[in-house]
Amino acid sequence: MDLRGSNRSKVRVYNNFGAFGIAWSKHLPATCPVLKRTFDLANAIGDLNYAVYSLKVWITHRLASGEPLSEVQAGAEEGLAFARKARFDLAADCFTAQLILIRELRGLTPEDGSPQNAWQSIDYFERHLDERGARWSLAAGWYWILRLQAGVTLENFRAAIEAVEKAELYLWGTGHVFEVCDYHFYAALARATACDAALPGERGRHLEAVSGHHRQLSVWAENCPENFANRAALIGAEIARLEGREPEAQRLYEDAIRSAREHGFVQNEGVAHEVAARFYAARGFETIADAYLQKARYCYHRWGAEGKVRQLDQMHPHLREELAQRGAATIVGTRVEHLDAATVVKVSQAVSGEIVLEKLIDKLMTLAIEQAGADRGVLISLQGDVLWVEAEANTVRDLIEVRSQKTLAAGANLPVSVIRYVVRKREYLLLPDAAIKNPFSDDQYIQCKQSRSILCLPLIKQTQLVGVLYLENNQSSHVFTPARIDMLSPPF
């Protein structure tokens, strides 16, 4: 985009386009180059007001885009220093509000609450905003939206509801900025959680508000699914949960996770995994809930929210213990000295046809059966969009028989829903006891075989899915423990 005319006019057009236009129709990171250009040009011509404001919006969009928190913090600190140098106190307070949230999520402890480090002290800063009064409503509104995000992410839902009520007092002055999206998203999550413990009258009020937030997010999602579909899906899932439509809730949780992952909103993916975990835990599916919590922890770790990671470790210590145990495991429970990373790479190469499959198939399938305790294993390759069974191993009278073959997986004796899930998600699926009701209970194979332990693993080569390893034990449950999931899972 280029413009003729004065630089001062260009600054205003670039700023308005980056701050108020692009985010509602294009992927949010697309705003960052425009806002950087606004800052560079405004700074060059001495238009400090627009320079500072474009910096503030840039940090807002970087934070909402899921950029690493350490990098966003560095940018916000530079913005704060620039705003103070320019004596733009309102913008300085906006950067301060952002830094309070970022440092809290990262688990950084404030040194003191002195005026020089006011941004490190929540109490001091809130007193400061109160003293500024109505003329500081813009900064106050943005601050309470950020406090709302902190309350939801760090599971302080009482504080989150208080932040909702305070943010609503200032919404009239926040303008058409991306903070408004964050308000609707986190307010809906806070109120949905409040419904669980509310009296009937209060529950109805909260649920009505959640529906209103969902309607607004859905309108935005129609115009820009990249930014808003994950948010609308998660709130839709919570509404379905509250209204007792559990299958729809399950589908929408997955839609939210998938959309957030696809478009890089790692913090929203973490939140969606965590909310889904609470859904399954409340229904007694502890293993499924733990799997979602592990994914949430991984997302927060990638984001750099180590304060949140530590909170999860304290609230769910057994997860941390399982993750520590997984560090010593490789594929399906064999030790590194028995089956190392090189073997995994070779297996993936074999499946993708880069080396002779027959030379590795016996070793792979025998190890899988012996070390995992499975009584059946199937190696499946992905060629284009078609799944092929390359080999099958079965335990027959204490002997392992491996049979190489080349048949379509669609016609094989396999749980289709399980295989499709792993192919779609590119992550392992563990069913400790498939006989207990779970999202895959309706699969015809599981019903007919009366399957017990099921483990299905993706085979990844250079970020590409090249195959699937399916293992089962139809005699015993809980044969495949989380500690024995392969190292193809993301590192924690």
239-285: per-residue pLDDT in tens? 999 999 999 999 999 999 999 998 989 999 999 999 999 999 999 99
What is the Cα–Cα distance from 40 to 50, expressed in whole angstroms?
A: 10
**332-336 mean pLDDT:** 32
**368-391 mean pLDDT:** 80
333 pLDDT more than 50: no
84 pLDDT more than 50: yes
pLDDT band (50, 70, 90) for residue 134: low
pLDDT band (50, 70, 90) for residue 30: confident
339 pLDDT more than 70: no
* pTM of the predicted protein model: 0.65
388 pLDDT more than 90: no
Closest listed residue to residue 13, CA positions, set 47, 63, 64, 61: 47
**71-93 mean pLDDT:** 89
**298-321 mean pLDDT:** 89
Q: Which residues contact 228 (CB under 8 A, 6 or more apart)?
A: 181, 217, 220, 221
Q: What is the pLDDT of residue 241?
A: 96
Q: What is the pLDDT of residue 341?
A: 37
What is the Cα–Cα distance from 249 to 429, expressed in whole angstroms?
A: 19
Contact between 457 and 330 (Cβ < 8 Å): no
**180-191 mean pLDDT:** 96
371 pLDDT more than 90: no
Least confident of 177-191, 212-226, 368-382: 368-382
Q: Structural domains in the chain?
A: 336-484 (3.30.450.40)
pLDDT band (50, 70, 90) for residue 402: confident
148 pLDDT more than 90: yes
237 pLDDT more than 90: yes
Q: What is the pLDDT of residue 280?
A: 94
Closest listed residue to residue 73, CA positions, set 121, 118, 105, 33: 105
Q: What is the pLDDT of residue 162?
A: 94
Q: What is the pLDDT of residue 487?
A: 35
Express as a percent the part of the chain with pLDDT over 70: 78
